[in-house]
Amino acid sequence: AQTVTQSQPEMSVQEAETVTLSCTYDTSESDYYLFWYKQPPSRQMILVIRQEAYKQQNATENRFSVNFQKAAKSFSLKISDSQLGDAAMYFCAYRRRSNTGKLIFGQGTTLQVKP
């Protein structure tokens, strides 16, 4: 069975600084997707970034980038130039490369951004 682990329950960062959130996963499959979702107090899950396992190049979306280490089964999220609006719960998630694949989430990391 696939599992996703986030070992940092809470993180904090100073506004405009950079922070990295960690995620490891376990799977026996070779083709899958990895995601980072943001959940603000409004509760809605917002997709931040995704990575296809077959791609060696790390995904980037504006201030958000990932460090995808397939052999180590590691998938960290780097947030550059942190903003107050980045404060939220962040979830790492895994999905098989299937059109109806379910998402498997980690336990989440609460990110605090200090002004």
Partner 1 sequence: DAGVTQSPTHLIKTRGQQVTLRCSPKSGHDTVSWYQQALGQGPQFIFQYYEEEERQRGNFPDRFSGHQFPNYSSELNVNALLLGDSALYLCASSLVWGSTTSLTDYGYTFGSGTRLTVV
Nearest to 66 by CA among 33, 105, 112: 33
Stretch that binds partner 1, among 23-31, 39-47, 70-78, 80-88 (CB under 8 A): 39-47
Stretch that binds partner 1, among 22-30, 66-74, 79-87, 102-110 (CB under 8 A): 102-110
* Torsion angle of the four alpha carbons 104, 89, 109, 84, in this order, in degrees rounded to the nearest 10: 140
Residue closer to partner 1 (CB basis): 15 or 55: 55
| Alpha-carbon distances of 26 from 5, 46, 68, 84, rounded to whole Å | 9, 23, 13, 32
Which parts of this chain interact with partner 1 (CB under 8 A)?
Answer: 4, 6, 33, 35, 37, 42-47, 49-50, 61, 91, 93, 95, 99-100, 102-108
